Amino acid sequence: MREIKIGLLGLGVVGSGVYRLLSENGDFMAQKTGSRLTIKKILVRDLGKPRPVSVPDGTLTTRAEEILEDPEIEIVCELMGGIEPAKSYILSALSAGKHVVTANKAVLAEFGPEVFQAAEAADRGLFFEAAVGGGVPIIKTLRESLSANRIQTITAIVNGTCNYILTRMQESGLSFKEALVEAQKLGFAEADPTLDISGMDSAHKLALLATLSYGSFVPAEKVYVEGIEGLEPLDLAFAKEFGFLTKLLAIAREKEGEVEVRVHPTLVPEGHMLSSVRLAYNAFLLKGDFVGEIMLYGLGAGAEPTASAVVADLLDAARLIISGAKPTSILYRETPLDIKPMPRIVSRYFFRFSAVDRPGVLSKISGILGKHGISIASVIQKGRQIGGSVPIVMLTHEAEESAVRKALSEIDKLDVVTAPTKLLRILED
Ligand SMILES: NC(=O)c1ccc[n+]([C@@H]2O[C@H](COP(=O)([O-])OP(=O)(O)OC[C@H]3O[C@@H](n4cnc5c(N)ncnc54)[C@H](OP(=O)(O)O)[C@@H]3O)[C@@H](O)[C@H]2O)c1
């Protein structure tokens, strides 16, 4: 049986899961694939730190070159996170002729072309299933299973932390802060949750999915991003009255040669497949021109689901080594994608106005909306006093974002309006 030696960079949450999976399922995988994956060395920062797995003496090192320069190691598995030194180690491993498996969405979303080209130049495989969706096989689905399709839309819940917070706000009326503290206590949110709650983590993942779907690098900064920090239980409650649940969605859609890439809180109709995705789960609803709709659902983080994806990549790398086959290219389009500017997107909207409780207010607001071509689909106006003002909540028919922005800036200047209007977009069918 062919033995394939691996160097692990990192033995944290995911690294320990990978170590355990390879130990527990090693025999079973060897029977299945005809090769045995063996971890030869593991890079860590602190040799003395207690670990959830026990590794043989001499396996841990703090010297990356013991992995990157070891000719016996054929696959480097980067599970450190962060940009540097992870990116340099990935590039060094490729140029030393090693295949690379990584879970690092930040490196790929920010430096994709450099890393993809390095893999191509070295003729080595670069695998990153765990970078998006943890244990959910979204990367392979896009790269392999749906490769004959034009991907028309990706509509996804890609951040378990945000989905957990929104579920708790929605179902138990917790404030954003209360739900965040609970998520942190239960290990669903990091001590510093900024990347998650700002939507940036979702933007990194969406950029990567759009890159794979459309074959041209989509930089993360091209993704329009709004996070969930500004959401109030009141907005979620009003949305529910209209029959919607609020989710942080990552949306990519191609239409007439342009691609929209955006991450923002979105109202999803109750009964829609994505509305039933609760707590820390992720889901990916894909629409291909021939396959139609496909949905993938599962845990997007955690040691075990993520290890499942990483080890599947290690097995794919092993198959490349055994067969000597050429790895498939990731980028295939020469020209950059046309990203549709946000002001030109068309959506239905939810507005919550805060206004003084006086006759004629509603007609002033609807007059400005009408002037900008925005038509109202339904209204809820309740006499609930909040800080001396009442909320007026409206749903619109389809409108262009630029018209909505202009109308709201006029409305927010009215003397009867007491706070900036809350805007949420509604998921289009
Ligand atoms: N956690 C998840 O559920 C999850 C899910 C999907 C993807 N990912 C991705 O997987 C990667 C790893 O995440 P994680 O949660 O496992 O991280 P983690 O628990 O923080 O572990 C990081 C590991 O890398 C080592 N390390 C970090 N910087 C190093 C350096 N400069 N030199 C040597 N060793 C270094 C650390 O060593 P010490 O142990 O000695 O400190 C630690 O073992 C990240 O890219 C993350 O985005 C994570």
- Residues near ligand 1 with C-beta < 6 Å? 10-15, 43-46, 49, 79-81, 85, 103-105, 130, 134, 301-302, 306
The parts of the chain modelled with pLDDT lower than 70 are 383-387, 429
Q: Is 205 a catalytic residue?
A: yes
Distance 136 CA to ligand 1 centre (A): 19
For residue 226, how far is its CA from the centre of ligand 1 (angstroms)? 27
What is the model's pLDDT at position 357?
87
* Domain 2-134+303-323, second-level architecture: 3-Layer(aba) Sandwich (3.40)
pLDDT reported for residue 389: 85
Are 155 and 427 a contacting pair, CB within 8 Å? yes
Separation of CA 212 and ligand 1 centre (Å): 24
> Residue 146 has what pLDDT?
97
Nearest 5°: CA angle at 317, between 312 and 320?
A: 130
Q: Retrieve residue 371's tokens.
A: 């002037």
Which residue positions form the known binding site for NADP(+)? Answer: 9-16
Q: Domain ranges for the chain, please list them.
A: 2-134+303-323, 138-299, 343-426
Which among 14, 16, 202 is the best mutation to test ligand 1's pocket, defined by most ligand atoms within 8 Å of the CB?
Answer: 14
The reported pLDDT for the residue numbered 46 is 97
- The single residue listed with the structure tokens 């054929």 is 74
Whole-model pTM above 0.85?
A: yes
CATH topology of domain 138-299: Dihydrodipicolinate Reductase; domain 2 (3.30.360)
Alpha helices in 173-302 (DSSP H): 176-185, 194-197, 200-214, 233-241
Q: What crossing angle do the helices spanning 105-122 and 86-95 adopt, rounded to 10°?
A: 10
Count of C-beta atoms within a 10 Å radius of residue 151? 22
CA distance 221 to 281: 25
Instruction: Find where tokens 């106005």 sit.
Output: 353
- CATH for 343-426, options being 3.30.70.260, 2.60.40.1180, 3.30.1330.20, 3.90.550.10: 3.30.70.260
